[in-house]
Structure 1
């Protein structure tokens, strides 16, 4: 670690520039991407940047304090459509790629998102939210005054709930709208609604001839009680809808082959419930046969890396090669994500795999080139051209000033062999200004999920704790992605068992291996499932001097009924629902062991967290406080489960400051 650079502070999170969504221009001579920053009003803003391949200079295509994203070039490259909040809600805008002012295309009441061009450039497909009786030809975005009036009216009315899935952490309480797919004719800007069912429809792709639309949805009568997500073909002439996957699983990221004869997509059939590895399928439209290309693999497809600064969407695959016989995609393995290519017989090759995080890519069929988005533990992310020899040519340097000013730590990789013969991967960050011969306190970090993965990506919270003088230990205990199906499934029906053993053995390994760790000054923290594990730990050992539990689970009995996923997640992860065996759910609830807690505990929770609702934190706090334990409760107004990743910037900073304050006080 460079001692000439300064230490990271919590306020530095406002100085980061986060890149996402790279998109090649059709001729392959340039690309665009999204840059997300925090502005002077302490809010997020996203701009579209353009860069030619033969230069490192970028040209802003949008300005101001709005969110601009999802730019897609017309097939001839002369125009581009994107979504922007400059009118209030996200709406579609059109810009000439040779310059000029953007033209607003939509004024939908609930906004318009995710635009895609047809292959002939004659139409644009997009999403909007509609009531069942809405007329798309009579849509007008509401003024601020109109929105406020509706808000006041709703505040005086009860919320009538008659569905099982009536809320979600992403949307809050659901309304009576559904996501529908709209087609816009570019010649006269006329609109056509393509889907009408009383459910959400998610556009996937349009066929090369423009006649068929591919979308994902659940059109079954029992959709409110199901978690399946099928792929459907819509014939835009006959309006006939064909189900391709027949309710067997959940499928997404589907796309037509260049000749339109096949469809590639990710998905799985819930063989291991929420711990099921994603597979890659190809559907042949001539034979109606579905083929799984990855049957013999033991790898999670897509990007399962967890972090706290990755704002914005990026393509992770599957993406067709121009020959129609190969596909590109990202997969997750051993603390890293990499880019792969596979043929239609299931034979794959690694195109790029280093000890880092490939978070997205874009492919151009004209020059047969790939641009990768890559993050490392000391760089939030930049774009690179992948050369034929698998080397990289750096295209951007988004955080150059900050990276030259601040010292970020490179983690040391660990492998811990547990007593029951599991191998657990982990990392250890040394503190800022590390000096040989000196003892340092250590913080154990536990990720959420549990089916996710720590790895070689930029993680602000971990770097901040190291900057504050702590050794930081973080691991992927059993239940994590990246180590095969058996490993990711190993914590189901065993919460607080093998997973608890893994993290504690990792602590033992670290303190016995590194003489600079002060084993009498240990802390622990984690969020969501990591919050559950933090709660479980303080109820089962006094080894830690302080703990911070974030958006946690304390009581599986109530979680079943209050979480937006509780009614199925409880059965998926524990093998039973509330009425099946409440005594067993109580046995694995940290709340049961509150009397045994002696570790000073800080509870952090968002007041609008619908994934792990704040009543979980309330129960935990009141019980511990009533027992006269050393505990404090911080409630974050308007914050969802995503507080640490995409919450309001000032609340993210407050959260980080409270974590550091608690550890400083008690360790």
Structure 2
């Protein structure tokens, strides 16, 4: 049988498996399977449970809805989850013994982040509540909505994926599973996120920003709330971003992930410990030049969950993920500060759950030729075995392109790391066009993971070159801050060095047939590249940035992101913002450019593409703008299936036209 490469429309047949959760005794693992309903062209997510003793997997939820966040009760008898079957996500509970799901909440703004109490009697969660109201106050809506002006007096008045913000704030609530009684724990015009319960069930840890000047004092702190007295204590110093507070099983420690914003948004996240006995707060990994957590850039999985730190029962250590040199790996850390690899390899671990007593785990793993499956893994012995085979039937008929790692010197001698993917039907006697792909962020990391866009292009006969230029995570603190204040400088040189290395090393490449594409920061860099060189025959800029002066005022993060990343603002250094704006160099562009943008993108608003498009068309240059109605900055990753498919097809067809 002749195998074909991955087709863009295979998106409708591929399934995603995410968020594995082991039961307390390790007998079961629950997970989420997401697919696309071809008729309705909508995502469907259902919960599945695998029983290890019988090696049987059973579907626990059904229907054409989204079910997510499966969480076992500590006694192992129940599984809480979220479902949008009635509209907004509400909280449900299923019994291990069987029966229908019990709907616990019916809240106007839904529920999120369910966390069981240690005694399995209550669940902590969050819900949005209107300013000045409480959980139980009903807001009367007029029978007929009348149009009214909306008034904003905060600089944070919109957010990508949420739109223009209503006057509501995320608050913490506890619900009694048996009676349905609720207790609102927090209030005020601040957002709070739940994280964990103390082992005795008397306190909860949560995160938020309680600063009166919170739009400008950009921090996240950790708080401890005593449930009975309702007294709150802040345990972090309001110096940066701290999250994921979790008690050790013996209650001695609270582990935290975060940083003190030493390099603003380019700072590596580290591991901290708070001692509940003497209230000391120390960083365990201050000398470890590694990013804690999963920061890989990918376009396939929806609903992945970074597990944070997972304590072992002896309270002496924890497991967690790190992002390093294009891989996402599992590490073990001790309370003494020693860090040990538990699972390394050329792969992307995008999900992790452990049995804290036996050190057995279930991992979600993806590679460039494996969209993703669950694996059992013994963290002590290193035994790895595949548990699910979610896409095997389709993949048997497809030829996927491997990602070959490469490294090369940039113009200043700095070593840069990346990958090459040959065409799916590669013939060494032929010559092929090359597509340079550039990730967003910029503080993210291309990884050894499945990328649907890449595979669809290799199936069309393109070679894919993707790299981690300076500014990327995975190569230490100096490297990740290497593009700050220098967008379009050495990061541009790194990318051009990658192209030079590829065409000089691989004789099957046609150096006259080069293309470039990227999204977000990658869109900025695509715009920058076509304004500074004509060596590319085609370019596609996705959800781009073209003008830092306007981005400062129209992006939901513009005012601080621009100051952090470009090191300038519209008041004191507009010339610097303009110097780093691709729009300044639009007169130089000769490369045919396709601009793709979601119409509801509030992170990099569509006006960024519109400005660049207009500048090019005013000069009668080859440019096409494609907008995606209703889509946000996530259009190519979690956008509606039909438009997500069209997004990929637009890229494919543009390159086909010019290469």
TM-score in terms of structure 2 length? 0.98
Tell me, yes or no, if the aligned pair for 2:406 and 2:417 is still in contact at 8 Å. yes
Q: For 1:422 and 1:259, how far apart are their aligned partners in 2?
A: 46
C-alpha displacement at 1:545, in angstroms? 0.4
C-alpha displacement at 1:380, in angstroms? 1.3
Q: For 1:309 and 1:69, how far apart are their aligned partners in 2?
A: 17
Q: For 1:562 and 1:72, how far apart are their aligned partners in 2?
A: 38
C-alpha displacement at 1:237, in angstroms? 1.3
Among 251, 258, 263, which residue is 1:260 paired with?
A: 251
Show the counterpart of 1:157: 148
Q: For 2:137 and 2:360, how far apart are their aligned partners in 1?
A: 43
C-alpha displacement at 1:259, in angstroms? 1.3
Give the 3-state SS of the residue equivalent to 2:645 in structure 1. Answer: helix
C-alpha displacement at 1:184, in angstroms? 1.0
Show the counterpart of 1:497: 489
Q: For 1:74 and 1:532, how far apart are their aligned partners in 2?
A: 46
C-alpha displacement at 1:56, in angstroms? 4.5
Equivalent residues in 2 for 1:31-180, closer than 5 Å: 31-39=29-37, 40-137=39-136, 153=146, 156-180=147-171
Give the 3-state SS of the residue equivalent to 1:536 in structure 2. Answer: helix
Tell me, yes or no, if the aligned pair for 1:108 and 1:139 is still in contact at 8 Å. no
Q: For 1:343 and 1:188, how far apart are their aligned partners in 2?
A: 40
| 2:16 is aligned with 1:24 | no
Q: Which consecutive residues of structure 1, in runs of 5 or more, have no partner in the other structure?
A: none
Q: For 1:15 and 1:91, how far apart are their aligned partners in 2?
A: 28
Tell me, yes or no, if the aligned pair for 2:377 and 2:385 is still in contact at 8 Å. yes
Tell me, yes or no, if the aligned pair for 1:26 and 1:366 is still in contact at 8 Å. no
| 2:501 is aligned with 1:509 | yes
| 2:521 is aligned with 1:558 | no
Q: For 1:503 and 1:515, how far apart are their aligned partners in 2?
A: 19
Give the 3-state SS of the residue equivalent to 1:540 in structure 2. Answer: coil
Tell me, yes or no, if the aligned pair for 1:205 and 1:255 is still in contact at 8 Å. yes
Show the counterpart of 2:364: 373
| 2:435 is aligned with 1:443 | yes
Give the 3-state SS of the residue equivalent to 1:432 in structure 2. Answer: coil
Among 6, 19, 35, which residue is 1:8 paired with?
A: 6
C-alpha displacement at 1:531, in angstroms? 0.5
Q: How many residues align?
A: 657
| 2:452 is aligned with 1:464 | no
| 2:641 is aligned with 1:642 | no
Tell me, yes or no, if the aligned pair for 1:197 and 1:219 is still in contact at 8 Å. no
Equivalent residues in 2 for 1:223-622, closer than 5 Å: 223-387=214-378, 388-622=380-614
C-alpha displacement at 1:132, in angstroms? 3.1
C-alpha displacement at 1:138, in angstroms? 5.5
Q: For 2:304 and 2:580, how far apart are their aligned partners in 1?
A: 36
Tell me, yes or no, if the aligned pair for 1:415 and 1:425 is still in contact at 8 Å. yes
Structure 1 residues 520 and 56, CA gap change in structure 2 (3 angstroms): farther
Q: For 1:542 and 1:613, how far apart are their aligned partners in 2?
A: 27
Tell me, yes or no, if the aligned pair for 1:117 and 1:124 is still in contact at 8 Å. yes
C-alpha displacement at 1:187, in angstroms? 3.7
RMSD between aligned residues: 1.4
Q: For 2:576 and 2:77, how far apart are their aligned partners in 1?
A: 62
Tell me, yes or no, if the aligned pair for 1:56 and 1:396 is still in contact at 8 Å. no
Give the 3-state SS of the residue equivalent to 2:24 in structure 1. Answer: coil
Tell me, yes or no, if the aligned pair for 1:446 and 1:525 is still in contact at 8 Å. yes
Tell me, yes or no, if the aligned pair for 2:312 and 2:357 is still in contact at 8 Å. no
Q: For 2:199 and 2:593, how far apart are their aligned partners in 1?
A: 58
Give the 3-state SS of the residue equivalent to 1:358 in structure 2. Answer: strand
TM-score in terms of structure 1 length? 0.97
Tell me, yes or no, if the aligned pair for 2:422 and 2:463 is still in contact at 8 Å. yes
Give the 3-state SS of the residue equivalent to 1:461 in structure 2. Answer: helix
Structure 1 residues 404 and 164, CA gap change in structure 2 (3 angstroms): same
Q: Deviations 1:582-637 (Å, cap 9, x if unpaired)?
A: 11111111111111100001111111000100110111011100011111110111
Q: For 1:655 and 1:56, how far apart are their aligned partners in 2?
A: 40
Tell me, yes or no, if the aligned pair for 2:4 and 2:459 is still in contact at 8 Å. no
Tell me, yes or no, if the aligned pair for 1:19 and 1:312 is still in contact at 8 Å. no
Q: For 1:233 and 1:457, how far apart are their aligned partners in 2?
A: 37
Q: Deviations 1:7-64 (Å, cap 9, x if unpaired)?
A: 2211111111111111111211111001111113111111000001245532000000
Tell me, yes or no, if the aligned pair for 2:91 and 2:103 is still in contact at 8 Å. yes
Q: For 2:581 and 2:459, how far apart are their aligned partners in 1?
A: 34
C-alpha displacement at 1:370, in angstroms? 1.2
C-alpha displacement at 1:139, in angstroms? 5.8
Single out whichever of 91-100 and 329-338 deviates more from structure 2. 91-100
